[in-house]
Amino acid sequence: MVSVIGPDHVYFTALTPSTLAGMPASLAKAHCHTEDILTMADRIPHQKVCLLDPASPNVLSPEDAQTYDFFLFGGILGDDPPRGNANVSRRS
C-alpha cells in the first residue's frame, strides 16, 4: 500500500510500541500510531471511514471515494474469522 499510493495516504494504527520501534523504514514513512482507529476521531472522523467488511453484500466502487476519505483494511477487531461487530461506519 505504501509503495502504491504513497506514505501520506496510509495509516497504521493500534501498533504496539515494539512494532512501532521496529517498523522498516519503508513503512515508517506512513502515518504510524499506537492509538486505535476508534480513539482517533479528532483526526479521522468515523463517518468518513469505510470499513471494508468481507461480509458486506456491496462491492466497493469508485463512487465510494465521494463519500469516504478513509478505507479501512483488515485487523480492526483482531478476530479471524471476523465476528461482524464493527463500531465504524460500514459501506452497506
pLDDT in tens, 53-83: 777 888 889 999 999 999 888 655 555 566 6
What pTM, to 2 d.p., does this model score? 0.71
Total number of domains in the chain: 2
| 27 and 67 housed in the same domain | no
| 27 and 70 housed in the same domain | no
Q: Which domain holds residue 5?
A: 1-35
| 18 and 54 housed in the same domain | no
Cα gap 88→46, rounded to integer Å: 6
Cα gap 55→86, rounded to integer Å: 11
Q: 74 CB contacts (<8 Å, ≥6 apart)?
A: 52
- Kindly report, residue by residue over 13-54, the tens digit of the pLDDT: 889 999 999 999 999 999 999 998 889 989 889 899 988 877
How would you label 3-35 residue by residue, b for 16+ Cβ within 10 Å and e otherwise? Answer: eeeebeebbbbbbeeeeeeeeeeeeeebebbee
